Amino acid sequence: MNIKYFFKVALFTLSILLISCSVTEEAPVVIEETKSEVAEEVKSEVSEEKLNVLATTPMIGAYVKEVGGDNINLTILMPPEANPHTYDPSPQDAGKIADADLIFYVGLKYEPAGLIKLLENSSSGEEVLVEIGEGVNPIEFKEGGHEGHDEHEGHDDHDEHDEHDEDKDHDEHEGHDDHDEHEGHEGHEGHDHGLYDPHFWFDPMRVAMAAELIKDKLIEFDSVNKSEYESSASTYISELNDLDKSVSDLIDTVPAKNRNLITTHESLGYLESRYGIKILTTIIPSLDSANEISPSQLVNVIDMIKDNNIGVIFVESEAPSVYSETISSEAGIDLVTGLWVETLKENQSYSEFLMSNVELIVENLDHEEHDHHDDHDDHDDHDDHDDHDDHEGEK
């Protein structure tokens, strides 16, 4: 953008020199008028030139559009409903990347390694690449070595975050140097996730952090429109606060004891972290590259379903599992399809995406209080007592 600006200024200067040489002393007024007209034209063209911004996914593109508005030319690389994990970039994508003044992507090893390599090789420089995921205080996958998300997952841990102290969280995460060890995409084969969960869009307050980051970067590259970016970001963050409350109110209609889920793929960690929903297990471990699980893992899932009186398995549309039917049959529970966790559908907004998923989950959880859920140990003791009676009868 700066090169184009200087080119126009140079063209303006050259025009003045040519005009000055071609007119006589009898026409000074014409010179001044012509100089003024050329200057106004150059000024108008420069002010109308917009920042070319690229987002890798429709999800990130939605946030960028909210903040950038009409002040940017936005290109979204992936089409709606395309699975970002398996997206195969085309030769045309390289041209789109090269034309971008600024590029936003999820990061945290979310996009395929091939696309990350294309971003690095085709962009105009490292300074135009903005990894959103590392700026939203990401949580770790359960299989990453922190069972149960003890340090960040409990709903109580987020009481201070419920006050929307996103600035504090953002400050704690600034200069996230420890990401250097896992940002290296070169040796990352297949579509395995990294250590950190990139699905931050299941927490609107982390999306608010993303909006702040996007705003700051847009201002850095286009300070002329600073006030408009700030205003748009402020409005959007206010809407995200309202969305956060709507999600919380909806989930609160389900008794806390009944907020246990089993899904096909670990993608709801942020929903669990913020709103107190508990993901007991997933059919496909998040760090496995293949859609395969061992017989022992199958048995563990079925046992967990029975032990926790789970009534349904939520099947993610982008990550269906061939084992879902088997588990459903063996455990005698229903499959709930339609969970959409990775990207946006055609003409779908982020708020529509989140609310539709939460509504689907809430509709299929038990809304009744059951005493036998409160103390599973009592139920086990009762079973042991029955076994003892049977044994006595045999004697």
Q: Which pLDDT tens digit goes with each residue over 222-278?
A: 999 999 999 999 999 999 999 999 999 999 999 999 999 999 888 999 999 999 999
pLDDT, position 218: 99
**Position of tokens 């009944």?**
258
For residue 332, pLDDT beyond 70? yes
For residue 21, pLDDT beyond 60? no
**Position of tokens 């696309």?**
115
Output the DSSP codes for 220-242: HH-GGGHHHHHHHHHHHHHHHHH
pLDDT, position 68: 99
Mean pLDDT is highest, among 13-27, 175-189, 243-257, for 243-257
Structure pTM? 0.73
Cβ–Cβ under 8 Å, residues 336 and 315:
yes
Share of the chain above pLDDT 70, in %: 66
Sequence-ordered alpha helix ranges (H) in 57-126: 58-68, 91-99, 113-122
Higher pLDDT, 165 or 252: 252
Q: Which domains does the chain have, with CATH numbers?
A: 2-48 (no CATH), 51-248 (3.40.50.1980), 254-374 (3.40.50.1980)
Output the DSSP codes for 348-386: --HHHHHHHHHHHHHHTS--S--HHHH-HHHHHHHHHHH
DSSP helix, strand, coil percent of the chain (3-state; round to 5): 60, 10, 30
Phi, psi for residue 388 in degrees, rounded to 5: -65, -40
Q: Which pLDDT tens digit goes with each residue over 268-321?
A: 999 999 999 999 988 876 544 445 678 888 898 999 999 998 999 999 887 666
User: In degrees, to the nearest 5, what angle opens at C-alpha 87 toward C-alphas 81 and 90?
Assistant: 115
pLDDT, position 276: 92
How many whole angstroms separate alpha carbon 306 and alpha carbon 383?
14
pLDDT, position 369: 77
Q: Which pLDDT tens digit goes with each residue over 335-385?
A: 999 999 999 999 999 999 999 999 999 999 988 876 644 444 444 444 444
**Position of tokens 């929307």?**
164
Higher pLDDT, 54 or 331: 54
